[in-house]
Amino acid sequence: MALALRHWHMFKAATDDLPRYNNGRIQTTQRGQAPTTVSLRLKGGDHSGNTSQAIHINNPSHSHHPTKPITNAITIPGTTTTALEQVKLNRITRLLQLLIACTSVQARLPALRYPGYGQQWIRAPCRVDYLQHYIDQQQGGEIMIQCFHLLFADLIQCRSDDETQGLGSGIIPIAPPDKEAYRVLYQIQREFMTHCALRIRTLSFSVAQTVEHAISLVPQLVAVTRLELTDLEAIAESRSTTDAVEKVLDFVKSHRMLFGPILKDLSLAGQPTGNYKLLTVPNSPMSPTMTGLTTPPTSVPSSPTTPFGPWSSSPFADSYTTRVPSITNKNHQNNILAIIEAIKDPERIDALGWTSAILYLDRIPPTELKSLWLSFAFPPSESVDSKAARLSEYLDRCRKLEELRAPIRRPDVFGWAAHEKKSSLICAPILAGSKTKRLPNLRRIHLQGPSHELMDCLLDAAFAFQDTLQDLEACSRLPVWQPTILDWEWYMPQLTRLRLEGQISMHFSLDALQRCPVLEELSLSTFATEDSNDQRPEHLIQNPHQHHYNHLPHQYQHHQPQYHYHQIPDPAAGLLMYIRSQEMHRIGSCTRLKTLRLAGPWPIPDIALRRVADRCKRLRELALDRTLRTTTGGVLLAVENMHKLERLDLRMDVEDLHLVRVVARKLPSLSHVRVTSLRRE
């Protein structure tokens, strides 16, 4: 207690000049990007003798939409901190605030009250004690001060008396905490006071570890509408599969009994994800991932506007189909379907962590379905081709669908929609007052498949949903040897994002950009780039194997990732690139363009780049990777006219490319510059 009192007096002295609460209100500001996933390593030991434990924490936001993250940032008057220090302070604040909110604070108090107890780290139960015990500033401050060295392990250096005197004493700080640590603590308290269970929209828990604690939280989760289940693969082959699934069903039924059928969103993931107002029930330190998958390290932050990254996470954008290992236990598949059926008429299903979902689409209710996200990895099943053929029939029944992510193998996936669109255009006066079924208002479509079939699907989808489509993304796998062209002759009045990856991007006619008046983001890539994880999706950032083409680690080891595409001899590549060079100036017709990313041997003459700089006055991000036919002078003149540019990434075979940095200093809004000359490598 003497240590706690000493810390309390130090805290009072350090926070005398800080402002008090304003009726429990908190000042928040919006920022463009924020780290969505962080890790904190707490010192101590567990029952197994480990000396450290990693806890993964997700970053919540006040917005339920995954494309509008809001970051809590508090500015303390009376203190002088630089921008870098403020960013660091805000990151630590969010991390520790979530750590306190997602674990039991009371379970750590015996580490200070009883000698030697702190040497045996006992994992705290997954509760929300702050909703019951955190009442006012004084009580909360005393609780956090008493476990100060455990919460601020990175800011305070501690040593244990057992190093010299055995296990008879507690942990003593080497030096008193600095003022920065107390400022972090004060900010945590301010955010802590405003945190309320009514703001929790997403509940994430481990099916294998913490489902019991989630059941006890049901009476407090009145506003939860999204359920995220993790560690599904861990219980696939275990004997406790049925028991764990029954507990999940009990949670869903209890929540519906108390608050009605408001639980409509379901996410089946391998690890927790974030960017919602989130209550994360921590799971085991090492969450199991799918065996045999390549999982490159993820990076923070993610884009606030793009649901997926600019390039694929895999270095093999045009490789052949690779079926990944999947769960073959039929009982486990039935258990997952039982969870889906327990949620009456789900509206959003995120099945990126369930590779066999495409085989069981007929078991998913399509009546109220608005969002369907499927994994691009086909499961190793003999009937996968016949089951994948039913995708078109299933989509025909989803009349409220707004978002779709799915792999395709047939060119007629959207044939039904194109046929209905033609009929509606021909018989518009007759069908105006009829009660026949209408086309769904699809706003976001992400597809992956063979290039030839993918082109037909894209044309049908662009034609059928030309009035509502806002986000169109396609990733081709198999190369196309015939010179086909991807183009549309109708206007896309709502399309704001277009991303094409693989060989299909070379077959895309840039003349179609003239019929996209509100396009804000254009990404064309003939191969996967190194920074594939820079713009990861926020609501699925924790699952790196879900957003790229899955390959077994022993395959394609003889290929170089950056030149995999160029190793495939394409007889039509030269002709296609020549045609694209004549159309490159069409990019300037997109006057609302904010993001332009080109990766591959795209011929961009200086005059085309100058036209983009002159016409696209709102351009904020420019990324050119391995493009051709651009000189140093053309790049300098173009960058100089991009007055609103915020991010610049150039990787080109151009001499004296470093001069771009000199010109970039004149841009007032530029915050990120990365220039790499391939000629010097």
189, part of any domain: yes
Q: Is the pLDDT of residue 62 over 60?
A: no
Residue 65 forms part of a structural domain: yes
> Is residue 296, in this structure, part of any structural domain at all?
no
Which of the two residues, 448 and 571, has the higher pLDDT score?
A: 448
By DSSP bridging, strand 37-43 and strand 52-58 are antiparallel
Per-residue confidence at 679, pLDDT binned at 50, 70, 90? confident
Give which of 521, 439, 506 is closest to 472, Cα–Cα: 521
Buried b (16+ CB within 10 A) or exposed e, 215-226: eebbebbeebbb
Q: Does residue 349 surpass a pLDDT of 90?
A: yes
Q: Which of 146, 7, 34, 19 is nearest to 98 (CA)?
A: 34
The DSSP call for residue 266 is: E
- Per mean pLDDT, which range of 45-59, 321-335, 564-578 is the poorest? 45-59
Pick the residue with more confidence: 202 or 196?
202
Residue 298, number of CB atoms within 10 A of its CB: 17
> In the predicted model, is pLDDT for residue 615 greater than 70?
yes
Q: pLDDT tens for residues 623-652?
A: 999 999 999 999 999 999 999 999 999 999
C-alpha span between 319 and 539 (Å, rounded): 27
CB 160 within 8 A of CB 119: yes
Model confidence pLDDT, tens digit, residues 109-143: 444 344 444 444 443 333 333 333 333 334 444 54
Q: With cut-offs at 50, 70 and 90, classify the pLDDT of residue 432.
A: low
Q: What is the DSSP letter of 175?
A: S
Determine, yes or no, domain membership for 450: no
Tell me: pLDDT of 606 over 90.
yes
Query: Cα(56)–Cα(271) distance, rounded to whole angstroms?
Result: 9
584: pLDDT strictly greater than 80:
yes
Q: Which of 360, 394, 358 is nearest to 376 (CA)?
A: 358
Domain annotation covers residue 671: no
Judge whether residue 61 has pLDDT over 70.
no
Report how many domains make up the chain: 1
d(CA 60, CA 72): 9
pLDDT at 26 over 50: no
Quick one: DSSP state of residue 297?
Answer: P
Residue 658: other Cβ atoms inside 10 A: 12
Residue 305 confidence (pLDDT): 32
Query: Which range of residues forms the domain containing residue 93?
Result: 2-195
DSSP, collapsed to helix, strand or coil, labels residue 604 as coil
Whether 563 is in a domain gets the answer no
Q: What is the pLDDT of residue 485?
A: 85
Helices H, strands E: what count in the chain? 20, 19
**pLDDT tens digits for range 358-400:** 888 989 999 999 999 998 877 665 555 666 668 999 999 999 9
Tens of pLDDT, residues 514-572: 999 999 999 999 875 443 333 333 333 333 333 333 333 333 333 333 333 334 455 56
Asked whether the predicted pLDDT for residue 511 surpasses 90, the reply is yes
Q: Is 515 exposed, middle or buried (0-12, 13-18, 19+ CB in 10 A)?
A: middle
Other CB atoms within a 10 A radius of the CB of residue 65 amount to 11
Is 264 or 1 the better-scoring residue by pLDDT? 264
pTM of the model: 0.65
How high is the pLDDT of residue 86?
A: 64
Tell me the angle at which helices 2-14 and 179-194 cross, rounded to the nearest 10 degrees. 90
d(CA 84, CA 87) in angstroms, rounded, equals 5
Please, how many CA atoms are within 13 Å of residue 454, restricted to the half-sphere of its CB?
27
Q: Where are the alpha helices (DSSP H) in 569-617?
A: 573-583, 606-615
**How crowded is the C-beta side of 131, counted as CA atoms within 13 Å?**
15
Q: Which class for 437: exposed (0-12), middle (13-18), buried (19 or more C-beta within 10 A)?
A: exposed
- Residue 486: DSSP 8-state: B
Question: Which helix (DSSP H) or strand (DSSP E) does residue 675 occupy?
Answer: strand 672-677
Is residue 378 a contact partner of residue 448, using CB atoms and an 8 Å limit?
no
To which residue do tokens 């799971």 refer? 283
Report yes or no on 420 lying in a domain.
Answer: no
90 lies in a domain?
Answer: yes
